[in-house]
Amino acid sequence: MALSDTLSTLRKEKGLSQTQVAAFLCENGSPLTQKGISKWECGDTTPNAEQFLLLCDLYEVRDVLSVFLHKPSDEARLNALGQSRAAEYRALLLANEAFCRQIEPTLPLYDMDTAYAAAALAKGAAGELVSAASAPEGATQVLRIRGESMTPLFEDGQLVYLQACETLSMGDFGVFYLNGRLCCKLYMAAAGTELVSVNEKFPPIRIQENDDFHIVGKVIL
């Protein structure tokens, strides 16, 4: 079966529409329209590596060679009873730390000075994964600061940890989505919302009614 036919079959088996698949890809940082999904399933184009992996995740494909290249794995050679026993044994192994690899925790990293990062972080889409071994408790993302507005507290290029949230308290340091860009500022909301820089050379930003603005997360100090 051709790749296009397999993709179409997997989608239909999950009861998903092409529009739903496109929405899933967009939510996970790989924007595509319904027409793009249709072209894949017609064989006119093919997904790139990132899109292919996202599709495997969505369609719950674990044995890629068996599904797409029709090369039966050892597990595929087992009947229903054999697969059930194998699953039981796998569960026992996974429940015992002596048989499990220690997987280093990771967090998504975004660069504050890119338009993609602004859109991706604002929507919770995937970013480059970096080690979270030294991350403080509660951290959900990592942001690379750009510019001098937050010096000397945060230097240009410094990494800071964020905790995703929708509200902040007065005086919290936060990351904000403002008119298509990301910024890291001190949150002040006494008489209207103001974003204040640590570096006094940069004036406060007063949020206006027509601004496209929302809170992305709190900086964990």
In percent, the amount of the chain with pLDDT more than 70 equals 93
Order the strands of the 106-111 sheet from edge to edge: 128-131, 106-111, 141-144, 159-164, 213-219, 173-178, 181-188, 194-196, 205-206
Distance in angstroms (rounded) separating the CA atoms of residues 87 and 168: 45
Tens digits of residue pLDDT in 165-205: 889 999 999 999 898 888 999 999 877 899 999 999 999 99
Tens digits of residue pLDDT in 3-47: 889 999 999 999 999 999 988 888 887 778 899 999 999 999 999
Residue that is written with structure tokens 């179409």 in the block: 8
For residue 65, name the pLDDT band (cuts at 50, 70, 90): confident
Displacement of CA 218 from its chain's centroid (Å)? 17
Distance in angstroms (rounded) separating the CA atoms of residues 115 and 58: 26
155 three-state secondary structure: coil
Which parts of the chain fold into alpha helices (H)? Answer: 3-13, 18-27, 34-42, 49-58, 64-68, 80-94, 115-123
Q: Is-contact 139 220, C-beta < 8 A?
A: yes
What is the pTM for the complete model shown?
Answer: 0.57
Distance in angstroms (rounded) separating the CA atoms of residues 27 and 221: 29
CA quadruple 151, 153, 155, 156: dihedral sign = negative
